[in-house]
Amino acid sequence: MSNPGTIALRADPRGLTRPVVADTVSAARTVTLQFDDNALLPILYGEHDRHLARIEQAQGVRLSSRGNRLSITGSASATEVAETALRRLWRQVERGEVIGMSEVEAALRLADGPSSPVPAPRAGGGGEGREPRLPLADLPAIRTRKGAIAPRSHAQAAYMDQLARHDMVFGIGPAGTGKTYLAVAQGVALLLAGRVDRIVLSRPAVEAGERLGFLPGDMKEKVDPYLRPLYDALHDMMPADQVQRRIVSGEIEIAPLAFMRGRTLAHCYAILDEAQNTTPAQIKMFLTRMGEGSHMVVTGDPTQVDLPSGQRSGLVEALSILEGVPGIAVSRFAEQDVVRHPLVARIVAAYNRADESAGQPSPRFQSGMGGRRRDGNGPPRQEGE
């Protein structure tokens, strides 16, 4: 293999060397990484080197390994992205984290973009001055009983940064971007650290018109179908027996939005999911429940409103009123931030293009007015993030 660049290797305390590649007249260059623990390399490379193959495919580079060295050959920009992704994955391997294709995709997304989240105004600072931001690779992960949860996109990294810095955060964007999942993870982390006394998770039971008394069964049977995605997120972060024990003790409460009326939520972490299906009065009621020592996160997708036709979404109204208020942060996700199966982002994009070609406004630009889902009938969407 030819080597068009001159490489010097500098010691790196994190277990791999820092390559410095001299300028070359060739369009290609080679960067070599050296790792200090050969036993971990199979985890980094993946079964049959499938992780390396994915990086080669995504960036158009050539990866070759020999012993504890891995060489990356390609254009300057492509090798830089591949190197950054591999360094991130190596740090995860060293921490004992499980590495799969989803982690590889996340590392590539994070490497191919800005080096830090977009700065936000200081909480309560009225917009003057901005707080410094850590490089993405150094952002702390959210730690739960089942392991660490790290950002998988730049939008997620900025969102996690805001969750850690602000008492009230709005997470806005399509399903599959992780906005609800990361909010639950932050709440679990604060509960385990003793920084809040309880977690309150809520959704509007709009599919039942909030008239739960008309449904058969006891209250738990009535609300469980609407709140199942929140249970699923909790079970991803804590053992099932602990989730159940904390629900029984009141440390974790999962309830329809209608149950929040008249309460003060003090020293708790409160999450309102699917907020696009609240009325203006409902979301105002929820936001004003905030008590001393509490944090609130509101998540939703204004393009997926399931309210009756002509009813304005409370989430849309709240954003128009509260965005820019000191101490309140708003994180916005787009279709390219979807971190589920890669096909999900393509499906969202395809539907947007279909709307635009049919002369309808893309959901990305809808105001949040209007009735059921895009097709106007059928059961409402369930967003399990």
The pLDDT tens digits for 118-176 are 444 333 333 344 444 444 545 556 766 666 777 888 888 889 999 999 999 999 998 88
- Is-contact 284 260, C-beta < 8 A? no
Q: Residue 129 region, left (φ>0) first, then alpha (ψ -120 to 50), else beta?
A: left
Distance, CA of 15 to CA of 232 (rounded, Å):
36
Q: How far apart are the first and last CA of the chain?
A: 45
DSSP, collapsed to helix, strand or coil, labels residue 83 as helix
The pLDDT value recorded for residue 221 is 56
Dmax over CA atoms of the chain, in Å, equals 75
How confident is the model at residue 59, as a pLDDT? 92
Instruction: Give Rg (Cα) of the chain.
Output: 23
CATH architecture of 136-365: 3-Layer(aba) Sandwich (3.40)
Domain with CATH 3.40.50.300 in the chain: 136-365
Which residue shows structure tokens 């179908």? 225
Directed axis angle between helix 101-111 and helix 76-94, to 10°? Answer: 130
Give the pTM. Answer: 0.68
Q: Where in the chain is the domain with CATH 3.30.1370.10?
A: 7-111
Beta carbons of 119 and 129 less than 8 angstroms apart: no
Q: Which residues of the chain have pLDDT under 50?
A: 1-26, 115-135, 137, 207-217, 363-385
The secondary element (H helix, E strand) that includes residue 254 is strand 252-256
Strands 295-300 and 252-256: unpaired
Q: Give the tens place of pLDDT for each residue, 298-322.
A: 999 998 888 888 889 999 999 999 9
User: Is the domain 7-111 a CATH 3.30.1370.10 member?
Assistant: yes
